[in-house]
Amino acid sequence: MTRALVLFAQPCEESFSAALKKVVTDRLAARGWEVDLCDLYAEGFDPVLTAAERRGYLDDTTNTAPVQAHVDRLRAAQVLVLVYPVWNFGFPAILKGYIDRVFLPGVSFTLEKGLVAPGLTHIRKLAVVTTYGATPFRAWAAGNPPKRVVTRALRFVCRPDRLRYLALYDMNRATPARRAAFMARVAAEMDRL
């Protein structure tokens, strides 16, 4: 059975992001996949990398101990889907902290002769479902950091067969019809993922 880890980073359950999370999890479950929803805010994930964690970062025999349960969930997945709003041209801090604390040496990458090699190659499908307050042009002019992290860094450590980056731009002016159309697009993409 295919197992999907859905990382959700938005504290408000009444948000459009929460509605998108529901579409994602419902569609993947309808395919018969096992869905592991990791709601970072609801689970109280601590995004702060401690001094001790940083000092032990490169020791891949002990570095996972503080976040072992999250590492186990990530290692068990064949599909990774991130659902979050873009804030200030970046990930919500809790999601950035998850990446800092869980995507560790020995987990998301290995060091071989000083070179980085991908460590999450069991992730065969990678998808992002996100919203931006900015227009596509403003996001492009700012370098679109969240998209670059996904399409370059996360893609490198996962090496997925399929990558989808689904973004609703200009969310602040999105009409109900545009939001509905985006939700339909997300549903269709989850059916094809």
Question: Which CATH number covers residue 164?
Answer: 3.40.50.360
Of the candidates 98, 84, 154, 95, the residue with the CA atom closest to the CA atom of residue 126: 154
Q: According to the model, what pLDDT value does residue 108 have?
A: 96
Q: The tokens 């869980």 sit on which residue?
A: 102
Lookup: tokens for 173: 């002016």
Domain total for the chain?
Answer: 1
The domain of 79 spans 3-192
What is the pLDDT, as a whole number, of residue 77?
Answer: 98
Enter the tokens of residue 4.
Answer: 């999907």
Q: Please check whether residue 187 is in contact with residue 148, taking contact to mean a CB–CB distance below 8 angstroms.
A: no
> Digits of tens for pLDDT over the chain (193 positions)?
899 999 999 999 999 999 999 999 999 999 999 999 999 999 999 999 999 999 999 999 999 999 999 999 999 999 999 999 999 999 999 999 999 999 999 999 998 888 999 999 999 999 999 999 999 999 999 999 999 999 999 999 999 999 999 999 999 999 999 999 999 999 999 999 9
DSSP code per residue over 106-136: TTTEEEETTEEEES-TT--EEEEEEE-SS-H
**147 touches 165 (CB < 8 A):** yes
Calpha distance 165→130 (Å, rounded): 8
Would you state the structure tokens that stand for residue 45, as one six-digit string? 């994930």
Instruction: Calculate the alpha carbon distances from 15 to 85, 98, 191 in Å.
Output: 10, 21, 23
Q: What is the pLDDT of residue 114?
A: 82
Q: What's the whole-model pTM score?
A: 0.95
- Structure token digits, residue 87: 């804030």
Of the candidates 79, 113, 142, 18, the one whose C-alpha atom is nearest the C-alpha of residue 8 is 18
User: Residue 85 phi/psi, 5° resolution?
Assistant: -90, 150
pLDDT of the residue at 113: 84
Give first-to-last CA distance, the chain, whole Å.
15
Q: How far apart are CA 51 and CA 28, in angstroms?
A: 38
